[in-house]
Amino acid sequence: MFCSNEDLLISIQDAANQVVNEYGEDVAKSVFQRFEATCTEDLNPSDYEAAFSELYLIANDN
């Protein structure tokens, strides 16, 4: 299934919000830092899928 960059950005933001709510802002920031970004908008489009995967795994690890 193909996702547009816009769809991926929305998914990343949703997953990041879940991580913040569950584990705190520092955990979400640590994921962005691994991709040399400070927030969703700073991510390189080539990192969208990997960033989403990491955030999704953290958000759903309960």
Q: What is the pLDDT of residue 55?
A: 97
43: left (phi over 0), alpha (psi -120 to 50) or beta: beta
Torsion, CA 3, CA 7, CA 45, CA 59, rounded to 10: -100
Chain position carrying tokens 């700073």? 42
pLDDT tens digits, 2-32? 678 899 999 999 999 999 999 999 999 999 9
